[in-house]
Amino acid sequence: MNAPPTGWHDAAACLVDGSGEVVAFCEEERLSRRRHSIYRKPRLAAESCLARAGITAADLDVVAIGWDAEQLFPGRFRDDREFLEHIVGLAFGDRLPEVVRVPHHLAHATSAFHASPYERAAVLVVDGNGENESSSVWTFARDAPPRLERAWPRSASLGYLYDAASTWLGFSFLNAGKTMGLAAYGRAAGLSTAPLAEVDGDGFRLALPGPLGGGGALGGGGALGTGGALGGSGPLGGSERATAAQIRAEYETTVAAWRGLYSRIAGATGPDLPEERLADDPRAVLVAYTAQRAVEECVTALAALARKAAGVEELCLAGGVALNCSTNGLLPGPVFVPPVPHDAGVALGAAWSVRPPTAAPAPLDPYLGSPVREPHGPAPAAYGLVRAELSVEQVAGLLLDGQVGAIAEGRAEVGPRALCHRSILAVPRDAGVADRVNRIKDRERWRPFAGVTRAAHGPRFWGDVGHLSRYMLGAAPVTPEGRATAAGVVHVDGTTRPQLLAGDEAPVVGALLDELDRQGAPPVLLNTSFNGKGEPIVDSADDALRAFRAMDLDFLILEDSVYRKPYRR
């Protein structure tokens, strides 16, 4: 699991059986309805996983957490019982499970490799920080233990570099996706950026400004810092083991130094325009694109280094930076990113570190969350909603008429990307639909959307990004036909973040795409997460009904029913 005090955001629980098969996976935010579940124990998530299996906490053999809590909080807990009660809050009775503390980057790497279809792969982990590292390179094989090849210290953190840009822009560090979306305006304008890193065949070094730096100067007035390659196949070379408090202080100092550098680059300490108009603010676009280019250059170099170290082309990515779809889409394939590359995913990786899957390799099924179930709150009729049986033909007609709807069916997808089980849908034939959906979700008008189609139709609309289109985790260039027929999912830089449906993994959306094709319309839909501003993706039927009533949506598909508002024609 990922749980406080070590994993203080994106708490999650995952249950695997003795053969490593995933029984259930749940992020605490989906049930608590508190986005990113900051400082919240994954109690509800763990209870949901146990209920899915029909067992209790006393039936567990092992509890694995994706952090070395002993290093980060030395001496804080008297024994494993106190530790378990603190991190998850469940009653284990007289039979206490074994507790395993898995190093953070190992948990990330394990989640990526075992979710992939590969027998052997290079694995690259890039995030803010683990216990002692910020980037690491691994070799994984199904028939051998994982091998750490290289690691880079916290001072070389690309996550910190990006967090600083996000907070300079006025976002939370948990809103890095906004920074990535804004950076596309710099790419589209062909901006030149100050170099923040020096990249070569041995890795990269960052231009850490001020007292953190040392060595030759790079652009923007910063000095070349301590982000050089360290480590080998053994422990992280030259990196100090630190407690959580020390890491936090180091983070604050480093991010503040990066923000100071961005201020010098932009000539201001923050944007000139409010958040909803940042795409029109040259300073804001410059800072976002400067950080984005640095991440792209460094991750590209690290990916090449990882492949060389492992001796294979198959590459897996994990860590929070692996959510950067623009960077992922630039990497030559084959590339695999799991649906949960961020910190919630270490719940999966920690479990697999103890019980790796024994089945033949296959891409992870992302629909591991809670089933929709019947609403337990007020019945839809009490909300004044009008119900009809689901008719794919009729819903396709509503979408072609320009209506915007939402869907909640089956088990929820895991991770931050809506994959057609908890999605908002629209026909994206013109750019205006993006404006309307942004208004519906109360998002900034410059934020982009993604498209979904059947795998067979993908080449019509956008470039091939391989497995990245399985979970909507890679940006792809849009084709001329895509620009002409699906303008609502084309970002300013000419890319989209596509999803391809390979089979019946999303039955209703797949049927809608087939019906659009049958009616002679382009078989592509705008697909974005079903949630209001500041909320996590809906989970249950009750969540879906509440969100539908609160948002300016035209219809809701809830399993085999379609709900309309009485004042909508």
Is the alpha carbon torsion for 397, 398, 404, 410 positive or negative? Answer: negative
DSSP for 525-540?
Answer: EEEEE---TT-PPP-S
Q: Which CATH superfamily is domain 380-564 in?
A: Carbamoyltransferase, C-terminal domain (3.90.870.20)
Q: Is the pLDDT of residue 37 over 90?
A: yes
> Which pLDDT score, from 0 to 100, does residue 287 have?
98
User: Distance between CA atoms of 337 and 121, rounded to whole angstroms?
Assistant: 12
C-beta neighbour count of 295 within 10 angstroms: 25
pLDDT digits (tens, 9 = 90+) for 480-521: 999 999 999 999 999 999 999 999 999 999 999 999 999 999
pLDDT digits (tens, 9 = 90+) for 434-444: 999 999 999 99
What phi and psi, each to the nearest 5 degrees, are found at residue 364? Answer: -65, 135
Query: Does residue 286 contact residue 193 with C-beta atoms inside 8 Å?
Result: yes
N-terminal to C-terminal alpha carbon distance within the chain: 46
Global pTM reads 0.94
Both tokens of residue 111? 């989640």
> Which pLDDT score, from 0 to 100, does residue 560 have?
95
> Which pLDDT score, from 0 to 100, does residue 376 have?
83
Give 201's pLDDT tier (boundaries 50, 70, 90): confident
Residue 556 to residues 33, 203, 422, Cα–Cα distance (Å): 20, 49, 11
Q: Where in the sequence of the chain do the CATH 3.30.420.40 domains occur? A: 1-114+342-364, 117-337
Query: Does residue 188 contact residue 137 with C-beta atoms inside 8 Å?
Result: no
> Which pLDDT score, from 0 to 100, does residue 567 have?
72
Question: What rounded mean pLDDT belongs to the chain?
Answer: 93
What is the rounded average pLDDT of the residues 258-287? 98
User: Distance between CA atoms of 556 and 544, rounded to whole angstroms?
Assistant: 8
DSSP for 465-515?
Answer: -GGGGTTT-S-EEBPHHHHHH-GGG--TTSEE--EEE-SSSSHHHHHHHHH
Which has more confidence, 109 or 207?
109
* β-strand partners of 100: 64
User: Distance between CA atoms of 529 and 423, rounded to whole angstroms?
Assistant: 5
Topology given in CATH for the domain delimited by 1-114+342-364: Nucleotidyltransferase; domain 5 (3.30.420)
What is the rounded average pLDDT of the residues 263-270? 98
Which CATH code for domain 117-337?
3.30.420.40
What phi and psi, each to the nearest 5 degrees, are found at residue 102? Answer: -100, 125
pLDDT digits (tens, 9 = 90+) for 315-372: 999 999 999 999 999 999 999 999 999 999 999 999 999 999 999 999 999 999 999 9
Give 568's pLDDT tier (boundaries 50, 70, 90): low
> Which pLDDT score, from 0 to 100, does residue 209 have?
61
Q: Is the pLDDT of residue 461 over 70?
A: yes
What single letter denotes the amino acid at residue 449? F
Query: Does residue 2 contact residue 87 with C-beta atoms inside 8 Å?
Result: no
